[in-house]
Structure 1
Amino acid sequence: MSDYPVHTIESAPAQAKPVLEQLENLFGQIPNIAAKMATSPTLIAGFIGLFERVHASSLTEPQIQTLLLTNAVVNASEWPVAFHTALALKEGVAPADVDAIRRGALPDDAGLAALSALARTLIEKRGRLISSDQSRFLEAGFSIEQTLEVIAVVAASTITNYTSSVTRPRLEAQFEAFAWHAPAH
């Protein structure tokens, strides 16, 4: 049971309503995680601002979804894993690559593997990359600018991952086929 309400556009604080409307237009519904996030207009406004910039970066949608899925798995955040599994598949990420990420492995696709490895390393090392971490990413054909864009994706993902862990949103029916449970530690 969660103390965080699942807001509608009507019930949300006034400053959160425009973001919920934007997300409803984008996804055809308000994702449950955003409905809970709307309890804090500060959080949801910060999230949507970063979300918009991430999706306007030089990274492609399959690359962004690879990063978001990797981040959710590394952070053991169940709702985002299911959500980003669905979006990654929709964006054309190979099912085998999606499955690999969900298992904590790297995708077969070399570019996606470089992105996934960098995201995992950023999270696990709390941003303290060593030169070889960055070199592998650059040698895979990415730029130093894209290294920083990956940080933006990790930041956006951290917002949803932590919100999910704290508020425990119910998984929507269309994502149930992609349900994922964090391994026991």
Structure 2
Amino acid sequence: MTPYPIHTESTAGETAAEPLRVLAKAFGFVPAAAGLMANSPALISTFFAAFGHFRGGTFGPAERQVLLLANAVANRCEWAVAFHTLESIEDGVEPAVIEAIRRGERPGDPRAAALWAFTRSLIEKRGHVDDGEVAAFRSAGFTGEQVFEVITAVAISAMTNHTANLARPALEDVLVPHAWTAEYSTGA
């Protein structure tokens, strides 16, 4: 159990309460990582703004989830893997793609594989990807703009994943069926 309070719309300070209200409406509950980030109005506000821009970008819902799930596995964040597994299912990601990513393996779908490979490379190499990796991502049908949108996904994932890794919240009931441990992943 986390030693940090997991805030709700009613327990968060005024600045942090509004993002939590919006997230509760969107998901039907305040995700634990967001409730934890509300301990810092600067963190929850920055996350909320960046996440809004990411959702308004050029990736569709399923592609966003492939990116976020790949980030969660790369960051070995048990809470975020469970959360993004649920969201991936709801957003129509193919079950075989979800399972491959959870195992830390390249998905069989070429477009999902390109998203997975590029996001993992950005994380592992801390942005020092080579031109060939960018070219491979672009040859899968992605744009130059989307190269930078992947960076946005990595940034918002760092905020949630690092928060959840630090605080280790219990999974919400809806996430329990999607529990994951880092040992499950062959690529972690």
TM-score grouping bracket, smaller chain normalisation: over 0.9
1:50-96 deviations in whole A, cap 9, x for unaligned?
00000000011100100000000011000000000011111111111
**TM-score, with normalisation over the residues of structure 2?**
0.95
Q: Displacement, 1:170?
A: 1.2
What corresponds to 1:182 in structure 2? 182
2:23 and 2:136 map into 1 onto residues whose CA distance is 35
What corresponds to 2:31 in structure 1? 31
2:16 and 2:85 map into 1 onto residues whose CA distance is 26
Q: Displacement, 1:109?
A: 1.1
Structure 2 alignment gaps of length 5 or more: none
Structure 1 alignment gaps of length 5 or more: none
2:54 and 2:128 map into 1 onto residues whose CA distance is 21
The 5-angstrom pairing of residues 10-159 of structure 1 reads: 10-159=10-159
C-alpha RMSD over aligned residues: 1.2
Report the number of matched residues.
185
Letter in 2 for 1:14: E
> Residue 2 of structure 2 contacts residue 170 of structure 2 at CA under 8 Å; is this kept in 1?
no
**TM-score, with normalisation over the residues of structure 1?**
0.97
What corresponds to 1:5 in structure 2? 5
Letter in 1 for 2:101: I
What corresponds to 1:163 in structure 2? 163
1:104 and 1:81 map into 2 onto residues whose CA distance is 11
Report the secondary structure of 1:183's partner residue. helix
1:59 and 1:71 map into 2 onto residues whose CA distance is 15
1:87 and 1:11 map into 2 onto residues whose CA distance is 26
2:85 and 2:64 map into 1 onto residues whose CA distance is 12
1:20 and 1:139 map into 2 onto residues whose CA distance is 38
1:7-29 deviations in whole A, cap 9, x for unaligned?
12221111101111111111111
What corresponds to 1:173 in structure 2? 173
Q: Displacement, 1:153?
A: 0.8
